[in-house]
Amino acid sequence: MRLAAVLHVLSLVLLLFAASMLVPLAFALGYQDGAWPAYAKAVGTTLLAAALLWGATHRAGRELQVRDGFLLVALVWTVLPAFATLPLLLQLPALTFTDAYFEAVSGLTASGATVLSGLDRLPPSLNIWRGFMIWLGGMGVIVLAVAILPLLGVGGSQLFKAETPTPMKDTKLTPRIAETAKGLWLVYFALTLACGLAYHWAGMNWLDAMMHAFTTMGLGGFSTHDASFAHWNSPRIEAVAIAFMLIAAINFATHFLAWHRRSLRAYRVDPEARAFLGVVLASVLGVAVYLVWDGVYADFGTALRFAAFNVVSIATTTGYANADFNLWPIFAPLWMLFLCSFASCSGSTGSGMKMIRAQILFKQVFRELLRIIHPRVYNPVKLGGQAVENNVVFAVLAYVFVYVSCIIVFTLLLTLSGADVVTAFSAAVASINNTGPGLAQVGPASTYAVLSDFQTWICSFAMLLGRLELFTLLVVITPAFWRK
């Protein structure tokens, strides 16, 4: 462990982060919303902190070992939100640090849970900053999931992919990580641009289109309006959102391959993408039928519209809403929360335990059943025509155990501190899956501001934990990690 080297790299990341605050600064100047001094101060403070850290550690060099990577990743995702609070705190004096940190974590983990209300009256540049955090977070997550975590050997999906030559043709899409990151970001950037243009075409103004393109591609779910997508009440805008949410929830490595080879074959051979689209499509239809049957909506067309938007939004862990699904019969929102815990693909900006782990688990169940009938059978779990090694299956099992345990612990902690069961459970699930809105008190029509400080910190931690695929963060807090 070389703490100094880790901190040195962190100082460089902070430096870049300070630069990213120039984006809202530019908007503040461009829109004349009077908020520019806040960003200037924030940039200054971050730069200063980065410089100090750099000065203190520059002798340590930048050479990191694999184990240092965990610490770096954990630090990046905990320290950056602290600095990201600066523009918020400087402009909203009523905001506590706890809530500001929650908002920043929610942004950088691309969750979309908010403690702010009166979004429509916020300075445009601040909304841009909130969206831009999500976009940055999504960018970080893609590279984290596709390029860095496999290197660290974390979790089932990464292990599986790192060892699998096909169908993904290796997660290392190009020989060097830097090249891979560049390629993925290019795809991410191009899709964001396309998304923004599509939103504008569908009827948003440029500012809203840009902000929502950021939060759609990051699968974050922050909006510039308290009413979220209900503000526009436009099926066309919703259709654009659905399309891009689905795209963003598919592995970016697959997008990259499809773009690189100029063929859609990559999607066809990606077993995760097929399962994801199938599950989401079936859920949309199922929920729509259920809503009509239960009498929430009179005609199927309306039910389909609301079911499609909200199911896709929650299943992809985005968190937009165009209806208060809190008022739907409880089965529908529970099913949506269930979906968000596994539907999105690994390597996407979505969160949760990822489709690939769900598939491995599901197949493992059938494998055990077959083994009861044929005791001597040799039937490995197979994904995309490739056998998954047993140690990967074990890793997935451990992951899911930790995942479920976390949900239970967070739910218990939230109820302990006074939340009702539905609020506690849904907040725990929505946080660890980086979804955003939960149910009851934290439903789509309200905000997380109702939670106590303790509960807010719990949710912040849950969001970080979920975003970093549990093990990355947990390993850093084990004693063995710090032993020399």
Partner 1 sequence: MKIIILGAGQVGATVAESLVSEQNDITVVDTDPARLRALQDRLDLRTVTGSAAHPSVLTEAGIDDADLLIAVTQSDETNLVACKLAARMFNVPRRIARIRATDLLDDPKVLGPDGFDVDLSICPEQVLTDYIFKLVEFPEALQVLDFAGGKVSLVAVRAYQGGPMVGRPVKEIRGHIPNIDTRIVAIFRRDGAVLPDGDTVIEDGDEVFCLAASDDIRQVMKELRRMDQPVQRVMIAGGGNIGMRLARALENAYSVRVIEHNKRRCEGLAAKLNRTLVLNGDATDEELLEQENIAQMDLFVAVTNDDENNIMSCLLAKKMGARRVVALINRRSYVDLLQSGQIDIAISPAQATIGKLLAHVRRGDMVAVHSLRRGAAEALEAVVHGDRDSCRVTGRRIEEIELPVGTAIGAVVRGGEVLMAHHDTRIEAEDHVIVFVTDKKTLPRVEKLFQVGARFL
Which two three-digit tokens encode residue 32? 């004349």
Min. distance of Cβ 397 from partner 1 in angstroms? Answer: 20
Q: Which is nearer to partner 1, 235 or 384 (CB)?
A: 384
Min. distance of Cβ 167 from partner 1 in angstroms? Answer: 13
Q: What angle do CA 112, 115, 118 make, to 5 degrees?
A: 100
Where is 173: in which H helix or E strand? Answer: none
Which two three-digit tokens encode residue 203? 């009827």
d(CA 25, CA 27): 5
CB neighbour list of residue 122: distance below 8 Å, 6 or more residues apart:
116, 224
Q: Which is nearer to partner 1, 376 or 484 (CB)?
A: 376
Min. distance of Cβ 376 from partner 1 in angstroms? Answer: 5
Min. distance of Cβ 281 from partner 1 in angstroms? Answer: 24
Cβ 430 vs Cβ 442: under 8 Å: yes
Min. distance of Cβ 101 from partner 1 in angstroms? Answer: 48
CB neighbour list of residue 340: distance below 8 Å, 6 or more residues apart:
314, 315, 316, 317, 352, 429, 430, 433, 435
CB neighbour list of residue 38: distance below 8 Å, 6 or more residues apart:
28, 86, 87, 90, 91
DSSP state letters, 66-77: HHHHHHHHHHHH
Would the CA dihedral through 276, 287, 299, 308 be positive or negative? Answer: negative
Count of CB atoms situated within 10 Å of the CB of 373:
7
Q: For residues 348-368, b (16+ Cβ closer than 10 Å) or e, as one string?
A: bbbbbbbbbbbbbbebbeeee
Q: Which of the 8 DSSP states describes residue 230? A: G
Q: Which is nearer to partner 1, 262 or 378 (CB)?
A: 378
Min. distance of Cβ 382 from partner 1 in angstroms? Answer: 7
Residue 342 amino acid letter: F
3-state secondary structure of 81: helix
Min. distance of Cβ 387 from partner 1 in angstroms? Answer: 4
Q: Which is nearer to partner 1, 125 or 364 (CB)?
A: 364
Cβ 351 vs Cβ 344: under 8 Å: yes
Q: Which is nearer to partner 1, 93 or 375 (CB)?
A: 375
Min. distance of Cβ 404 from partner 1 in angstroms? Answer: 29
Min. distance of Cβ 346 from partner 1 in angstroms? Answer: 21
Angle between helical axes of 235-248 and 300-315 (0-180°, round to 10):
30
Q: Which of the 8 DSSP states describes residue 144? A: I
Cβ 103 vs Cβ 115: under 8 Å: yes
Q: Which is nearer to partner 1, 190 or 387 (CB)?
A: 387
d(CA 326, CA 440): 6
Q: Which is nearer to partner 1, 189 or 362 (CB)?
A: 362
Q: Which is nearer to partner 1, 16 or 370 (CB)?
A: 370
Q: Which is nearer to partner 1, 263 or 379 (CB)?
A: 379
Q: Which is nearer to partner 1, 89 or 381 (CB)?
A: 381
Min. distance of Cβ 159 from partner 1 in angstroms? Answer: 17
Min. distance of Cβ 189 from partner 1 in angstroms? Answer: 37
Min. distance of Cβ 378 from partner 1 in angstroms? Answer: 4
Backbone φ/ψ region at 74: left (φ over 0), alpha (ψ -120 to 50), beta? alpha
Q: Which is nearer to partner 1, 162 or 213 (CB)?
A: 162
Q: Return the residue matching tokens 């020989």.
A: 175
d(CA 191, CA 131): 15
Residues that bind partner 1 (CB under 8 A): 374-380, 382, 385-387
Cβ 102 vs Cβ 452: under 8 Å: no
Q: Which is nearer to partner 1, 329 or 380 (CB)?
A: 380
